[in-house]
Amino acid sequence: MNEIEKLKKEMIKIGRLIFQSGLTDSHGGNISVRYNDYILIKKSGKMLGTLTEEDIVVTTVEENPELDKTASIELKVHRNIYKKLPEVKAVVHAHSPYTVAVSLTTNEIIPLDSEVKFLLGTVPVLSAKQVISSNEVAEKLPELLKKCKIAVVKSHGPFSTGKTLEEAYKYLSAVENSCKIISIVKGMER
């Protein structure tokens, strides 16, 4: 098995975990990895929880109209993260319900739990005029990801990074758990 086949299998595994963990809806979210000058990314419209190897596009870090045409509509965001942060090897994006809900009420997520506070500190929230497949998000998000391994696009969801897909998944899951805690505490204060 070559390296690209291994990466595709890892994408399938992590995509399934993201969906099974309740971190995104049936067709929401996307996942990618960087391998040398290539990006492997979920095809547009495919379900993250049931990916197959055929549902993954191999394109290049530089724009490639022929290879890009079936890729996730968030390719421009993933691509710019890889260009601006060469140490990043994996990006996951989801529509995590508690994280999205908390993002609607704040410009940064301040964890109440010691685990995420220690792991990540304050998580930035990006406000943009257009949030889906947005040039503005593609331009601004890498700057936030220099400060924290995960950032949330207000009303749209988190983009998490790592040296591996598992690392990016860990931050995605941790922030969602932290946002559940924030929501529970706010509910108890009423």
Query: Any idea what the CATH number is for the domain that residue 68 is in?
Result: 3.40.225.10
Calculate mean pLDDT across residues 111-122: 96
Question: 123-126 and 150-153 as β-strands: parallel, antiparallel, unpaired?
Answer: parallel
Question: 56-60 and 38-42 as β-strands: parallel, antiparallel, unpaired?
Answer: antiparallel
pLDDT for 1 beyond 90? no
How many domains would you assign to the chain?
1
Which pLDDT tens digit goes with each residue over 148-158?
999 999 999 99
pLDDT for 169 beyond 80? yes
The model's pTM is 0.95
Amino acid of residue 122: T
Neighbouring CB atoms inside 10 A of 87's CB total: 9
Task: Select from 54, 53, 57 the least CA-distant residue to 38.
Answer: 57
pLDDT for 189 beyond 90? no
Residues of the domain holding 7: 3-188
Unique residue bearing structure tokens 């890729």: 71
Reported as a pLDDT band with limits 50, 70 and 90, residue 190 is: confident
Question: 90-93 and 150-153 as β-strands: parallel, antiparallel, unpaired?
Answer: unpaired
Reported as a pLDDT band with limits 50, 70 and 90, residue 61 is: very high
